[in-house]
Amino acid sequence: ETGVTQTPRHLVMGMTNKKSLKCEQHLGHNAMYWYKQSAKKPLELMFVYNFKEQTENNSVPSRFSPECPNSSHLFLHLHTLQPEDSALYLCASSHLLAGGTDTQYFGPGTRLTVL
Amino acid sequence: GNSVTQMEGPVTLSEEAFLTINCTYTATGYPSLFWYVQYPGEGLQLLLKATKADDKGSNKGFEATYRKETTSFHLEKGSVQVSDSAVYFCAHRYNQGGKLIFGQGTELSVKP
């Protein structure tokens, strides 16, 4: 596989369930990102990981728990979500350059529905 | 604060029509500017980018010029196709830190 892959592509879960989203990048990048895309709203950056270390958390509720075991894999663990958390969750990756980051490449997203 | 504003959609055009999607940004300093495209059911794909004033990004017949004086990065295409139907996102990024700021997206629908 090439690029950035995400699984599952679609997920339906109840508010009491625990599930995880997976992202894998095959681009040799060292920075990874989670974004939330809700209808009629700009993309919201949730988390940033550089070299497996979390460098940004944009006031995301604790019911979302990210995990980055290595530079190629990123997870988003979900528990006790609310219906308003239903959205498309996008993963992205990029090179981490001196003084900043290179262009971000996105996966296809996981469409999450919380009942 | 830093923000990106795009023209509201949906934009509906006939095939071979000229396309302009306006994008303006608010920022201090000199960010890099991007256009991403999202086809139905897919994630975002980088369409083009520009990293300094007066740069022109181009790809697949789309163009956008970094205009510092008007803080704009309007997307244009001379002749759209049905396959261009998608949502287009304008974004800016500071080289320090790398955080992308996205606009709300503009949906384009091209009819045969």
pLDDT value at B97 more than 70: no
Q: Number of residue pairs across A and B with CB atoms under 8 Å?
A: 52
Task: Please list, residue by residue across B54-91, b when 16 or more beta carbons sit within 10 angstroms of its beta carbon and e when fewer do.
Answer: eeebeeeebbbbbeeeebbbbbebeebeeebbbbbbbb
Q: How high is the pLDDT of residue B9?
A: 87
Question: A17-72 pLDDT, tens per residue?
Answer: 899 999 999 999 989 999 999 987 888 899 999 888 888 888 899 999 999 999 99
Nearest one of B65, B4, B66 to B30, comparing CA atoms = B66
Question: B71-95 pLDDT, tens per residue?
Answer: 999 999 999 999 999 999 999 886 5
Of the partner residues A6, A40, A100, the one whose CB lies closest to the CB of residue B98: A100
Question: B12-40 pLDDT, tens per residue?
Answer: 999 999 999 999 998 877 788 999 999 98
B-chain CB neighbours of A56 within 8 Å are 99
Could you count the other beta carbons within 10 Å of the beta carbon of residue B38?
Answer: 23
Distance, in Å, from the CA atom of B48 to the CA atom of B42, rounded to the nearest integer, reads: 18
Contact across the interface for A100 and B96, Cβ inside 8 Å: yes
The amino acid at B69: E
Distance, in Å, from the CA atom of A49 to the CA atom of A30, rounded to the nearest integer, reads: 8
